[in-house]
Chains A and B, each alone.
Chain A
Amino acid sequence: MSAHEDWRRVRAIVWKDLTTEGRSKAGFNSVAALGVTILVLFGFALGPDAQALRDAAAGALWLAVLFAGVLAFNRSYQVELESGALEPLLLYPGARWTIFVGKLFANLIFVGLMLVIVTLVGIVLFQVTIPPSWPKLIAVLALGTIGLVSLGTFYAAMASRSRAREVLLPLLLFPMLVPVLLAAMQASKVLLNGDMMHEAGAWMSMLMAYDVIFVVAPLLAFEHVIEV
């Protein structure tokens, strides 16, 4: 099968996932609301100390993205499971990794939109000053999101065959995400504090390395995971 056909399948899945999500709206609203709620609760818990708020901003942001992301990943196969559409999806001839890539892109757009909302709310709530190295900060947010979404999409596929998928997904996902979250949170934190010791580059390199692993490994394993 040609790359053109693979790409067409990927586009079809992205279009289908975003169209169904856009029409139901329930998913995005609940995911974004959860992310914002977590930030607000952190804000209240930390009190009015501006420095404490700024110090905790990166951790609070990534925690909000993590928990809201898990909701999003659970939903990404729900539409197929509810309507029995997973089997027809698996019966289309062609490489099955295209299903993973399509779902990955759709989830990246979905979580990316949620991340924009959560970040804007976080900047206001935690009184964050935008650092001069903001392009690097955006790169960290993007790299962290890619690692999170790739693993989340993969494990959501694995958990989708289980009746207890809502419980199973965090159990499988959280331990695997520790390195990505650690690197993303540390890189965000040092960049928000001006990166005096030039540590951000090392954390970003680590993040990139994990992203490569966490995108390539699920691509190779997806066919076996989605097997009925």
Chain B
Amino acid sequence: MSVASRDQIAIDAVGVARRFGARWVLRGVDLQVRPGEMVGLLGANGSGKSTLLRILGTLLKPSAGGATIYGHDVVKSPDEVRRQIGFLAHTPGLYDDLTARENLQFAASMLGLENAKLDEALDRVGLGGVRNERVRGFSAGMQRRLSMARLLLRNARVLLLDEPYSNLDVAGISLMNELIGESVKGGGAALVVLHELAPAAAVLDRTVTIREGRIDEPDGAALDAANFAVAGEG
């Protein structure tokens, strides 16, 4: 694939492998996600879904293979990649002793967004009424919503989301889908690690499954079939 064409692909992973000690978690993952696509990443526990996401998010280096985000290499140009992505980890990663607004203010400062619409983002995720309360008193669902608000601040072209629906209520799930949908419709792309397909089934374009460290269904099986396969593993 030429460099020019890689620039047009949101996520392009080729032969990504990663080992921890002697154990190979990923054994050569090939995956492409195009702009405007929302892809669900499925697999059993320990199959390497989060590892792949962390490699794409520049948090881990691959042991072999490589990946690009809009043409930017995750190993050679990690800072460029970080400018393109919005990463939602499994844990919310918030500061308990800061208020909801202060958490966003810190994120905005780190991102260089001097005119960030913090209150607007908090209102959007339904936390406007508790903006000045410390995160320590928030439920897991509220913390997840605040992580969503933090994601809203940056205009990310690629969303890398690790189990984004965990701890969210029905309204929260709907809001999450709305936010992902808006990003994808605006030309962005999303790769979403899922344990359950149901919350995202209505908005996913396709799913891929990791099995034994490799993508098992690279071209996207029908959602129902993928859901069945995952349920079968559980």
Whether A83 touches B94, Cβ cut-off 8 Å, given contacts A91-B57, A93-B83, A228-B59, is: yes
Closest CB of chain B to A102's CB: distance in Å? 10
Decide if B98 touches A92 in the complex (CB within 8 Å): no
**Chain B residues whose CB sits within 8 angstroms of the CB of A20 once the complex forms:** 95-98
Selected from A8, A11, A85, A227, the residue in CB contact (under 8 A) with B93 is A85
In the docked arrangement, what's the CA distance between A71 and B77, Å?
Answer: 36
A residues near B59, Cβ cutoff 8 Å: 87, 90-91, 228
- The number of residue pairs between A and B whose CB atoms lie closer than 8 Å in the complex comes to 78
Contact with B along A170-212 (1 / 0, CB 8 A): 0000000000000000000000000000000000000000000
Report whether B83 and A19 are in contact in the complex, using a CB–CB cutoff of 8 Å: no
Q: How far is the CB of A14 from chain B (nearest CB, A)?
A: 11
Q: Which residue of A lies closest to B92 (CB)?
A: A84
User: Would you mind naming 7 contact pairs between A and B with Cβ atoms under 8 Å apart?
Assistant: A13-B110, A15-B106, A20-B98, A24-B97, A85-B94, A90-B59, A228-B60
- Interface residue? B89 (CB, 8 A): yes
Q: Of residues A9, A20, A85, A86, which shows the largest number of chain B Cβ atoms within 10 Å of its Cβ? A: A85
Chain B 55-94 against A: per-residue CB contact (8 Å), 1 yes, 0 no? 0011111000000000000000001101101010111111
**A23→B137 CA distance, assembly (Å):** 14
- Secondary structure class of chain A's binding surface, majority of residues: helix
Distance between A197 CB and nearest chain B CB, rounded to angstroms: 50
A47 at the interface (CB under 8 A from B): no
CB of B111 closer than 8 Å to a CB of A: yes
Interface residues on B, range: 20 to 34
Count residues on chain A whose CB falls below 8 Å from chain B CBs.
Answer: 28
Partner pick for B110 among A9, A19, A79, CB 8 A cutoff: A9
Q: Are B109 and A11 in contact (CB under 8 A)?
A: yes
Question: Closest residue of chain B to A9, judged by CB?
Answer: B110
User: Do residues B91 and A84 form an inter-chain contact, with CB atoms below 8 A?
Assistant: yes
**Best-surrounded residue of B79, B110, B134 (most CB of chain A within 10 A):** B110
Q: Is the CB of A9 within 8 A of B109?
A: yes
**Chain A residues, CB < 8 A from B83:** 93
Residues of A93-112 contacting chain B, CB below 8 A: 93-94
Q: Does B196 interact with chain A (Cβ within 8 Å)?
A: no
Please give me the residue from chain B that is nearest to A85 by CB atom: B93
**Nearest chain B CB to A110 CB, angstrom units:** 15
CA distance A55 to B106 in the complex (A): 47
Chain A: CB-nearest residue to B84: A93
A86-B93, A228-B60 are known; give 12 further A-B pairs, CB within 8 A: A8-B112, A12-B106, A15-B106, A19-B98, A79-B96, A83-B96, A85-B93, A87-B59, A88-B150, A93-B79, A93-B80, A94-B79
The reply to whether B97 and A93 contact each other, CB–CB distance below 8 Å, is no
Residues of B within 8 A of A88 (CB): 87, 89, 93, 107, 150
The interface residues of chain A lying within 8 Å CB-to-CB of B85 are 91
B95 adjacent to A85 (CB under 8 Å): yes
Bound form: Cα–Cα A9–B112 in Å:
8
Given the contacts A94-B79, A228-B59, A23 and B97 also touching, CB distance less than 8 Å:
yes
Q: Are A19 and B97 in contact (CB under 8 A)?
A: yes
A23 to B85, CA, bound (A): 32
Q: Are the CB atoms of B111 and A93 closer together than 8 Å? A: yes
Would you call B58 and A19 a contact (CB within 8 A)?
Answer: no
Residues of B within 8 A of A92 (CB): 82, 107, 110-111
Contact mask B85-126 → A, CB, 8 Å, 1/0?
101011111111110001000110111100000000000000
Distance in angstroms from A100 CB to nearest chain B CB is 14
- B103: shortest Cβ distance to chain A, in Å? 9
Chain A residues within an 8 Å CB radius of B90: 84
